[in-house]
Structure 1
Amino acid sequence: MDAPTTEPTVRPLTPETWPDLERLFTRPGDQRGCWCMWFRLTGTDWPATRTAERRAAFAERAAAAPSPGLVAYVDGEPVAWVAVAPRGEHPRIPRSTVIVHDPEVPDCWSVTCFYIRPDHRGRGLSTALLAAAVDHAAAHGARNVEAYPVDAQERTSSSVMFHGSLGLFTRAGFREVGRRKGRPTVRLALR
């Protein structure tokens, strides 16, 4: 794959950048139905909502500060996304059967998903997005950043990898703090 002609630019999701996220999320793939609402809805609420409702709910959240994620651009085109927000915004996390949830961890933010356009995968965008997500969380008072990656020993379907790989997070300094049903939970202490 060709490398981008410029370094990625990463911008917070705001009402101004919302149309760029729409362009990314209306492409074929799982993001099209989720709209980054999986962790924001309970197991009961998820099936009770339609895609249009999820999209509207996330648009409403995008209009509030702090931004719930970041959009990456290459040569001015939106090509990738990372969701990062205070852990308390995600009611599914404490109820999860695969996440090690420690409510005593102070000021914790969660990196819950990545989406990279297929024609831009394998170019290091997830590394750039993760670094920007940690910086974004720190700038808004996070003392810890947590994630729930996939420990992929072999090549895995991209539809499973939206959480990011364990290697991505460990290379960025995250430490594994536990596992449930084989899924690691990783955390980075910022201060």
Structure 2
Amino acid sequence: MGREILPLTLDRLPDLPADCRECVFWELTPALSSRGRQCPSEDKRGWLTTTLLEWGSPGRVAYVDGQPAGYITYAPAHLVPRSVAFPTSPVSADAVVLMTARMDPRYAGQGLGRVLIQSAAKDVLRRGGRAMEAYGSPGRAGGCLLPTDFLLAVGFHTAREHPAYPRMRLDLRTALRWRSEVEQAVEKLFAPVRGLGARQPQPVGTAHRQDPARP
């Protein structure tokens, strides 16, 4: 069974679940979201285009035998308008926002979520980031927030407590301990892996040019 992880680009946006392609929860301010957008898919493409040009790919998409199996999205806080709307905001200055992730139920229990988190962590480290932070949901999976239990299971800890929206943090310096184990796991689970080639680290939020149609 062939598996791979590739950067999220405009060409791969259609490989996200239909409701995620139409969702702009993270990409717009609460005020704009509440107005009921006429073309949320165009808003999504516009946000992705801007982010690709300013920061690079804001996510990873996992494929199994060429079929989409899951995805994860993340970006600097200034590119994630919703991130300032929580009672536990803002995220730390050295962190990017882990927005959301979803796995195809057919691949549940195979460690795909953990590998996507690890792949995102390695990407953020290469860009000069020190941490990822997310707003957890104490409830079960669903919606645009990740379950707190899932975040804890993949290495996050509570940075700021809240009964509904705890802010969770993964210090990427601890991810350095994962490197040998992660490399072996990625090679085993996602062979071949493409789109994760080394590049020079950049500070979080530093702009760089990137063709939106390419990884």
> TM bucket by the smaller chain?
0.7 to 0.9
The match for 1:164 among 125, 133, 146 is 146
Offset, 1:121: 3.0
| Aligned equivalents of 1:135, 1:128: Cα separation in 2 | 11
| Aligned equivalents of 2:62, 2:51: Cα separation in 1 | 16
Offset, 1:73: 1.1
Deviations 1:10-66 (A, max 9, x none): 11113xxx333303333xxx31420xx312211111134232332331342364242
Q: Which has the higher contact order (CA 8 A, sep 6+)?
A: 2
| Aligned equivalents of 1:54, 1:44: Cα separation in 2 | 14
Instruction: Identify the residue that residue 19 of structure 1 maps to in structure 2.
Output: 11
Offset, 1:115: 2.2
Change (3 A) 1:25 1:101: same
Instruction: Identify the residue that residue 174 of structure 1 maps to in structure 2.
Output: 156
More displaced stretch, 124-133 vs 180-189: 180-189
Offset, 1:81: 0.9
Matched to 1:19, the amino acid is D
Instruction: Identify the residue that residue 68 of structure 2 maps to in structure 1.
Output: 78
Offset, 1:83: 0.6
Is 1:89 matched with 2:79?
Answer: yes
Unmatched 5+ residue regions in structure 1?
Answer: none
The match for 2:59 among 69, 78, 83 is 69
Change (3 A) 1:81 1:137: same
Unmatched 5+ residue regions in structure 2?
Answer: 174-215
Alpha carbons 2:21, 2:41 under 8 Å: kept: no
Query: Identity of paired residues, percent?
Result: 26
Provide TM-score, normalisation by structure 2.
0.69
Provide TM-score, normalisation by structure 1.
0.76
Offset, 1:190: 2.4
SS at match of 2:113: helix
Q: Number of aligned pairs? A: 170
Q: Quick check: which one's helix share is greater?
A: 2
Matched to 1:25, the amino acid is P
Query: Please, what is the CA RMSD of the aligned residues?
Result: 2.3
